Structure 1
Amino acid sequence: MKIYHNLSEFTKLDNAIVTIGTFDGVHFGHQKIIKQLVEKAKTDGGESVILTFFPHPRMIIDPENQDLKMINTINEKAEILKSLGVDHLIITPFTRDFSNQLPDDYIKNTLVNNIGTKHIIIGYDHRFGKDRSGNLADLKTAGLHFGFTVEEIMEQDIHDVAVSSTKIRQALLAGDVSLAADYLGYPFSIFGRVIKGDKIGRTIGFPTANIFVEETYKLIPGDGIYAVTVEMNSDLTVTDSKTTSENPTVNLKPLTFKGMAYIGQRPTINGMTRNIEVNIFDFNREIYGQDIKMNFLKFLRHDVKFTGLEALTVQLQKDKEATLNYFASLEK
């Protein structure tokens, strides 16, 4: 999949099959639409194109409202779309000037002149242009003039997409990562850099990697303890030695570890900031400055203030046992 961070980077296609949206989460509902897009491109001998926007339009239109958090960062979204077989992803910077285009100008300049749209798959309630005044009927009328066809995504499918996005966010905020995974079709994850903490975990036998998530718009699950897997690259990457003379390329595979993650303000030590930490099992290397990915698999318990570090240590041992039992159950 080719990725473009501006329409000016994109070279107009002869037969672009297009859909438009934010696709936050790229969940089952989105995947249904994207599968439809990819199959249509193959059938018509065209190329599939997703036009998405960053930042999210609501962040620009209503900048005072900081409540909206994204299930995916833009890079996470791109990786998932790539795995679904999309040919081109255009990430258009969403600005007030962009939002103030007249609907006819948006269709002519963006969809026709820049992309080369021949077929567009779009929701019945899609709005675009200044004051969101453009609609499906405008697209169909323009299609007759510019020579592209419009395929409408049915109301129920759009409703399912909207409901799923809302339910995923609600589930994650409540800590229900299992339900979120059911809607997403994959485990929710956090990608961040390991930074130095105060090393209290080391003193009680549970050293943790403190995770810094750069993207402030990324949704963080509710406070508590979670069973997770941790993926690492960099100098911890291992090499697949199964190569042949016909396939001499060496494949690099990230290492994956089991662990338990903590999200919260560490009330037992009167913490003042919300932390994201992970205790990685069977691991004792320094990884400060490395980027890691945490996949959230199961919620174990809510955050609790204990009487002291001794009581906290006893509970952490129980948490580790619960986490190991969870992973053991997956292997049966």
Structure 2
Amino acid sequence: MKESTSIAIGGFDGMHIGHQQLFGALDENSTIVVIETGYANLTPKKEREHFSHHPIIYLELDDIRHLSGEEFIAFLKEKFPKLQKIVVGYDFHFGKNRKYSFNDLKTLFDGEVVVIDEVTLHGDSVHSHKIRAKLQIGDIEGANAFLGHNYTIKGRVVSGQGIGKKELVATINIEAKEFLMPKEGVYATLTRIDDEEHFHPSVSFVGHRVTTDGSFAVESHILDGEVSCKERARISFVNFIRENKKFDSLDELRKAIKKDIAIASKELKFLQL
């Protein structure tokens, strides 16, 4: 990274299509500089690395927020001695009390400063907070359009309530506390098991098991045959199928799950897995 001639700076939670515009302005020898604010829950921690070929470094906001504009530039030059270009978004602010904007960056930095204008899709500006809002109302297709990829969570495998395989369908249960959960309900999804390269078509449930024990769960039923998952799984959300609902009996729930599987199978049929 010492060889980097250009950097893109921002929070980059989601690595959405607006962020990708910034990355498109980088040179061949580039680094993405992520400012960690503690609020990233679309692509927490190093999850961002799945969505760019550029190396990424992470800076804690608390470690740099006290710097003056001049000190911030000096800090960057120390980290990147060959720095010639800085790429930021139109709403980028830095330094103590966020008092500096891209205009100050242009004044303080003796290299090139590229400012990427607001990115819109269908007339709507693309921002991470809007993606979060879409996920929380179950607008998976809208969120995915803003992201430029399917919203994906990752978690370690945990034990379920024990009745799925016996009474309903076999599921993989995961715990993914670092990620924002979409609206409670049932989704057509793609699930990747452990270190497998490909995704399996699946139907997933996120929410409280209101028909049984009331506990919160994230569980995925694989549609192309039962698989063994040892450590972790990734669930990519494709479409919202239905709301979470309390059923009067396990038999009613079983019928609903059968219908969910049919809908998910149809939704996922033409996807290249």
Question: Same fold by TM (over 0.5)?
Answer: yes
> One-letter code of the match for 1:134?
Y
Aligned-partner SS, 2:155: strand
Matching residue of 1:34: 23
How many residues matched? 270
Residues in 1 aligned to 2:256 and 2:124: alpha-carbon distance in whole angstroms:
39
Find out whether 1:120 has 2:109 as its counterpart: no
1:92 aligns with 2:59: yes
Note closer, same or farther for the CA distance 1:206–1:18 as it changes in structure 2 (3 Å cut): same
Give the deviation of 1:295 after TM superposition: 1.1
**Letter matched to residue 168 of structure 1:** I
Contact 1:227–1:300, Cα closer than 8 Å, also in 2 = yes
Which residue of 2 is the match for residue 275 of structure 1?
Answer: 217
SS in 2 for 1:219: coil
294 and 301 in structure 1: CA distance in 2 versus 1, 3 angstrom threshold: same
Residue 103 of structure 1: which of 60, 69, 80 is its match?
Answer: 69
Q: TM-score, normalised by structure 2?
A: 0.89
In structure 2, what is the Cα distance between the partners aligned to 1:278 and 1:223?
14
Higher helix share: 1
- Relative to structure 1, the CA distance from residue 167 to residue 127 in structure 2 (aligned partners, 3 Å threshold; closer, same or farther) is closer
**Normalised by the size of structure 1, how large is the TM-score?**
0.74
Q: How big is the shift at 1:165?
A: 2.2
**1:93, distance to aligned residue in structure 2 (A):** 2.6
Give me the identity figure in percent.
Answer: 28
Deviation (angstroms), 1:35: 0.8
User: Which runs of no fewer than 5 residues in structure 2 stay unpaired?
Assistant: none
The alpha-carbon deviation at position 120 of structure 1 amounts to 1.3
CA contact (8 A) 2:194 2:229 kept: no
2:239 to 288, 298, 313: 298
User: Compared with structure 1, are the counterparts of its residues 319 and 22 closer, same or farther at alpha carbon in structure 2 (3 Å cutoff)?
Assistant: same
The structure number with the bigger radius of gyration is 1
Matched, 1:70 2:36: no
2:247 & 2:159 partners in 1: Cα distance? 24
Q: Which position in structure 2 is the counterpart of 1:221?
A: 182
Judged with a 3 Å threshold, the aligned counterparts in structure 2 of structure 1 residues 257 and 126 are, in CA distance, closer, same or farther, namely closer
Q: Which whole-Å CA distance do the structure 2 matches of 1:161 and 1:22 have between them?
A: 20
1:30/1:161 contact within 8 Å kept? no
User: Are 1:48 and 2:19 an aligned pair?
Assistant: no
- Post-superposition offset of 1:265: 0.6
- Please report how far the alpha carbon of residue 196 of structure 1 lies from its aligned counterpart in structure 2 after TM superposition: 1.0
Distance in 1 between residues matched to 2:262 and 2:248, nearest whole Å: 21
Amino acid in structure 1 at the alignment position of 2:68? L
Q: How many Å separate the matches in 2 of 1:105 and 1:307?
A: 64
Give the aligned partner of residue 127 of structure 2.
164
Contact 1:233 1:255 in 2 (8 A): no
Separation in structure 2 between the aligned mates of residue 149 and residue 330 of structure 1, nearest angstrom: 42
Once residues 177 and 225 of structure 2 are traced to their aligned partners in structure 1, the CA distance between those partners, rounded to angstroms, is 25
* Distance in 2 of aligned mates of 1:172 and 1:74: 19
Find 1:325's aligned residue among 239, 244, 266.
Answer: 266
* 2: CA distance, partners of 1:229 / 1:325: 13
Q: Secondary structure at the match of 1:268?
A: coil
SS in 2 for 1:175: coil
- Tell me, in whole angstroms, the C-alpha distance in 1 between the residues paired with 2:21 and 2:229: 39
CA distance in 2, matches of 1:282, 1:200: 21
Q: Which runs of 5+ in 1 are unaligned?
A: 1-9, 60-67, 238-253
What is the alpha-carbon distance in structure 2 between the residues aligned to residue 166 and residue 132 of structure 1?
19
Partner residue in 2 for 1:142 = 108
Distance in 1 separating the partners of 2:111 and 2:120? 22
Q: Is the 8 A contact 1:123 1:158 kept in 2?
A: no
Distance between the aligned counterparts of 1:296 and 1:137, measured in 2? 39
Aligned to 1:105, what secondary structure does the other structure show? helix
Q: 1:29–1:161: 8 Å Cα contact kept in structure 2? A: no
